[in-house]
Structure 1
């Protein structure tokens, strides 16, 4: 589903004003976020109104700390996921000094009432807004009663084992090599997006040519070997096996690099912005005593990845477009 992306509430087109507004960072669009969005979509459908998401760029935590954070979903992927969930438009509100200084009352007036013309607002239980996070879900609900829009507060979502579903929990699981947990909390396979760049082409000489991608330096993904699904910009999917690491047998230096060997593919991918969905963590990064044992292990990795990917099933509705059908236009 096509989704409109704008960076200020006041720029929302007139025909989308008066809708149901879901507010949050939505980094990861994980199962907890999906609960908020499902409630919002149900309300919008019943009332025949558009569903709008209000989120913030950069992430407020990155703005206040001055440091980049590991984004589970860059803005473009987040927008595509929101579109798949029935969101008509996402306002990626610029989070700067002026915006951070808004009082809670000014936030409500300028963003929700004047900017979006909200008829209803849906937030998570921990939503805070306005200068020094002074606004709370309860104060938002009180303001809504005064200004004529409904407010619903969604309680936290937990996994089957009672674990709280949150972006920070998912980031930690990815760092701890627990890809299964991270994917389960997301409801789809964790996906990274980057441009394919030319490397040293060592894989080609070993019989395993790879598509090389540099991930952001703040990436917390565990080093190691993964069974993956690789998606080109046109949406075409390939199974493969990927290494994220520093190539200890060959170089063991520099920033970690994501190197994906695509099964049953030959061609030039240089310069393409592509996506890699991580299905299974196979093993940690190892240093081998020469190239022959490295190649032997790569063959075993390929066999294991082919077996895993040959029998995978979607984890949920979002996993279909992400990992099985291919989202279109992620590079835009």
Structure 2
């Protein structure tokens, strides 16, 4: 998925090429780039197409909450590279990953408009959610942004909160809670695509190889609060090729007393060396929770059952959306 990414990623608005200045800018944290975010992003893309201007996303790194409340761990749904790749698939030309620091948080709302939107990006139009606030003490809100747009000469579109089929607002926190419970299927319904992680394949103890189940081992960020257990997954290599598989995320209680959480994926019908590759894993179904078995024989027997179930699940899987097809399915 990342090999073909064309989106430009910059951290300084001043480094945006002249051809992308004066574009339509969607503003938000966009952690997860879920269906609610896609409602905002879609409006920006439509405006950019109608006015024949560049489509740019303005987001913040790290996530503002991790700076404002560093004592509370934050489960990031889409770290910057993943977020940029999804924005690329949606059709954005560039993403400005604005460094979020305490000093940045202290600037006034007018400084944000003058320095970032007007002077830095030269925006022609801004699209954001109705709950977007900015500037010190959140002094800038929807009314302020509309008024600032009139003064600085750019248009503003505010998008209402997006609700799912059950009339509940789709939010990143709601998706995090589902993933913490292992409900990757429900989370996918809110994301609009299968939850996907990215990491480099590292060498492990190679115990799986001796059991007939060699795995690609990936250490995920420490704040990844995904439920420990067994999942049916699709595994995308760095070259874009895709493989079905079954993955375990957890601490491997049968073979280790106190191991660090690790994602271990067994790729179906695959032989080869993946060490050092940065790969992605998309989660389709939660099969069962993590268990401690009384020895390796019952563990292997259960692994056979897990493989059969995962093959059955993945054999019936269909894309949830064009974005899901791009993220979690083979290219056409």
Q: Which bracket does the TM-score occupy, shorter chain normalised?
A: over 0.9
CA RMSD of aligned residues (A): 1.1
1:140-219 equivalences in 2 (<5 Å) = 140-219=145-224
> 155-164 or 187-196: which moved more?
155-164
CA contact (8 A) 2:68 2:102 kept: no
Per the alignment, residue 227 of structure 2 pairs with: 222
* Residue 163 of structure 1: how far off its partner (Å): 2.1
Per the alignment, residue 87 of structure 1 pairs with: 92
Match of 1:12 among 16, 20, 24: 16
Corresponding residue pairs, total = 326
* Residue 97 of structure 1: how far off its partner (Å): 2.9
Partner SS for 2:103: helix
User: Deviations for 1:124-180, whole angstroms, at most 9, x for unmatched residues?
Assistant: 111010112111011101111122111111001111112211111100100012111
Per the alignment, residue 48 of structure 2 pairs with: 44
* Residue 182 of structure 1: how far off its partner (Å): 0.6
CA contact (8 A) 2:252 2:259 kept: no
Unaligned runs of 5+ in 1: 327-332
1:255-274 equivalences in 2 (<5 Å) = 255-274=260-279
Partner SS for 1:309: helix
**In 1, distance between residues paired with 2:168 and 2:240?**
34
Q: Does 1:136 align with 2:141?
A: yes
CA contact (8 A) 2:129 2:159 kept: yes
Partner SS for 2:95: strand
Q: Does 1:55 align with 2:37?
A: no
Segments of 4+ moved more than 6 angstroms: none
Partner SS for 1:77: helix
TM, length-normalised to structure 2: 0.96
Partner SS for 2:107: coil
Partner SS for 1:216: coil
* Residue 321 of structure 1: how far off its partner (Å): 1.3
Q: Does 1:74 align with 2:79?
A: yes
Partner SS for 1:152: strand
* Residue 312 of structure 1: how far off its partner (Å): 0.6
Unaligned runs of 5+ in 2: none
